[in-house]
Amino acid sequence: SMIPFNHHHLYYFWIAAKEGNVTRAAKKLFLAQSTISSQIAQFEKALGKKLFERIGRNLQLTDDGRLVLSYAEQIFDAGRELLDALHDRPSQRTSRIQIGIVDQVSKQVARTLLRDVWRFAKEPHITIHEGVLDNLLVELRGHVLDLLVSDSDVPLGEPTDYIKVRAGELRVFFVGAPLVAKKVRKFPQDLAHVPVLLPTPASPVWRDVERYFNQKGIQPRIAAEVQDAELLRYMALDGAGIVPLDEATVADDVKTGWLVRLHRLPLPITKTIWLLAKKRHRQNLIAQHLLDSFRLRTSGHG
């Protein structure tokens, strides 16, 4: 026969491997445990390989099992994609996009990206999800999102194949409202005497700032850690403390004088903006356009 094995067996194996346990897999598939066990045994016999070590009720994948699982992921993924492609008729597919934006990404960067979408697509329909990287990656894997804009690279342990494009680097500056900035006469030493607001530790900027403080031997008073870059900006504008923000976020405020840069020379801290997509047979057209051509133009000068 053309098809080398029974796809039902592959499906049962896939669910069992993901659940890690026959009882849970049986519940999910509305089948008897004995049915699942015998189907998996038949599948192992057909392949001539042992796919699971059974440890009590729990199933642990063998090396062969892990290999089969990686193919099963791709096969069932392609199935989901097939339905997507059928339901997204070509007329719609050209102008619909779902974008995830990690909340540490500057709203100015998001704005530039959206301007690019409007230039490229005729009457686009854009859906935007914001949140933390982990949650948005789940949505990217599940085909909820076509594209993800992130300030961090994908964690190494991620199983899925991603397309990763570096859209640009933004320099980071310590800024503050004029009254707070006045208190920092000597930079960076005087940062020890003013409240400092940081992104949350999930942000690469947090790590770089910590490293910078350690190198300079400064122990600042961390007054807040905030997940959303725009809220950090508002807190800086309100004089709540000194904040490390990227050049895209602060450009307008520095021009108007609402925020003051505490140093002329760039710090050894930059923020990288990544575009992430899943490898697919057919990328969303707008997503493909952004992956190919969206790059941040940063002001190369001081």
The two tokens of residue 88 are: 């997204």
Of 171, 129, 126, nearest to 150 (Cα)?
129
> Given phi > 0 = left and psi -120 to 50 = alpha, else beta, which region is 45?
alpha
* Amino acid (one-letter) located at 286: I
65-74 pLDDT, tens digit per residue, is 988 988 888 7
* Amino acid (one-letter) located at 158: E
Arithmetic mean of pLDDT over the chain: 89
What is the band of 209 on the pLDDT scale with cuts at 50, 70, 90? very high
98-155 pLDDT, tens digit per residue, is 999 999 999 999 999 999 999 999 889 999 999 999 999 989 988 889 999 999 987 7
Q: What pTM did the predictor assign? A: 0.72
DSSP state of 242: B
Q: Are 114 and 126 in contact (CB under 8 A)?
A: yes
Cα 43 to Cα 59: distance, rounded to the nearest angstrom: 15
Cα 108 to Cα 175: distance, rounded to the nearest angstrom: 17
What is the band of 186 on the pLDDT scale with cuts at 50, 70, 90? very high
125-131 and 195-199 beta bridge pairing = unpaired
